[in-house]
């Protein structure tokens, strides 16, 4: 079946994240963001796609040059829509959504407590443009501190327990968003399997 070209994001399961920012006056802002991706495996860069208007998050990212991406599990699904509603920039969205702050290690902006992982980011680059007269931006952050909940992470091999973390994700339909999570297939392939010599050229990066 052929469907409309613009619906490309509705058939990709997307992560639901909370991006927290601080306004220049110190107001705490939290908003859900799903259009984000890590930029290639060796890098510590992450890219977020944002509307260029009506986003306090984007204004704060530009002004403070830092932000935190917190990754919630299914248990925080109820806090997504309260943070997605349009509210004036002077509203503390932690209070609005009943979320608690998690202090950050390397930046001033706090993350969201109760998530399963946190990426503290400093602004790396903004690519701002318009498409069909609509302003948007790709915001690249450099991860300066990455933290994951101890009880879901295996320090031996760097794997994590998706069944326990229950990462919050979503798909879309014509009327809105359908929240879902991840199921482990119990199928593993080493990075080395992609290379002719069977060795991962980036293997050294994972050593302490
Ligand atoms: C699950 C979900 C994912 C979203 N993802 C994005 C996104 O990737 N980019 C974006 O610009 N807006 C996204 N939004 C919309 C913003 O969260 C929403 O406009 C919010 O009010 C922005 O808040 P702010 O003004 O405090 O930045 C998403 C909303 C939801 C519910």
Ordered per-residue pLDDT tens for the chain, 208 residues: 999 999 999 999 999 999 999 999 999 999 999 999 999 999 999 999 999 999 999 999 999 999 999 999 999 999 999 999 999 989 999 999 999 999 999 999 999 999 999 999 999 999 999 999 999 999 999 999 999 999 999 999 999 999 999 999 999 999 999 999 999 999 999 999 999 999 999 999 999 7
Q: What is the CATH number of the domain that holds 180?
A: 2.30.110.10
Count up the domains in the chain and report the number.
1
Domain that holds residue 17: 5-205
The helices-and-strands tally (H runs, E runs) of the chain is 4, 12
pTM here?
Answer: 0.98
Closest Cα to atom 23 of ligand 1: 31
Q: Which of 13, 33, 50, 141 gets mutated to test ligand 1 (max ligand atoms within 8 A of its CB)?
A: 33
Q: Is-contact 74 179, C-beta < 8 A? A: yes
Distance of CA 16 from the midpoint of ligand 1 (Å) = 10
Q: How far apart, in Å, do the first and last CA atoms of the chain sit? A: 49
Distance of CA 15 from the midpoint of ligand 1 (Å) = 12
Closest Cα to atom 10 of ligand 1: 50
Distance of CA 203 from the midpoint of ligand 1 (Å) = 36
Query: Which residues sit with their C-beta closer than 6 Å to ligand 1?
Result: 16, 29, 31-35, 49-51, 55-57, 80, 84-86, 170, 177
DSSP assignments along 99-119, one per residue = --EE--SSSSS-EETT-SEEE
Q: Is-contact 20 30, C-beta < 8 A? A: yes
Count of C-beta atoms within a 10 Å radius of residue 97: 21
């Amino acid at each position: 079946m052929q469907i409309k070209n613009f619906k490309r994001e509705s058939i990709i399961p997307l992560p639901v994240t909370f991006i927290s920012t601080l306004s220049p006056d110190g107001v705490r802002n939290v908003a859900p963001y799903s259009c984000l991706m890590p930029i290639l495996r060796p890098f510590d860069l992450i890219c977020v796609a944002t509307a260029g208007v009506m986003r306090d998050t984007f204004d704060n990212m530009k002004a403070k040059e830092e932000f935190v991406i917190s990754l919630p599990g299914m248990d925080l699904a109820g806090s997504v829509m309260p943070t997605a509603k349009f509210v004036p920039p002077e509203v503390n969205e932690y209070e609005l959504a009943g979320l608690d702050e998690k202090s950050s290690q390397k930046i001033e902006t706090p993350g969201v407590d109760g998530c399963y992982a946190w990426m503290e980011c400093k602004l790396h680059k903004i690519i701002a443009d318009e498409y069909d007269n609509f302003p948007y931006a790709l915001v690249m952050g450099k991860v300066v501190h990455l933290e994951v909940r101890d009880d879901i992470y295996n320090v031996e091999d760097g794997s994590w327990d998706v069944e326990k973390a229950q990462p919050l994700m979503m798909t879309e339909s014509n009327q809105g968003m359908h929240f879902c999570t991840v199921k482990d297939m119990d199928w593993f392939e080493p990075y080395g399997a992609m290379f002719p010599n069977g060795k991962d050229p980036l293997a050294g990066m994972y050593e302490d």
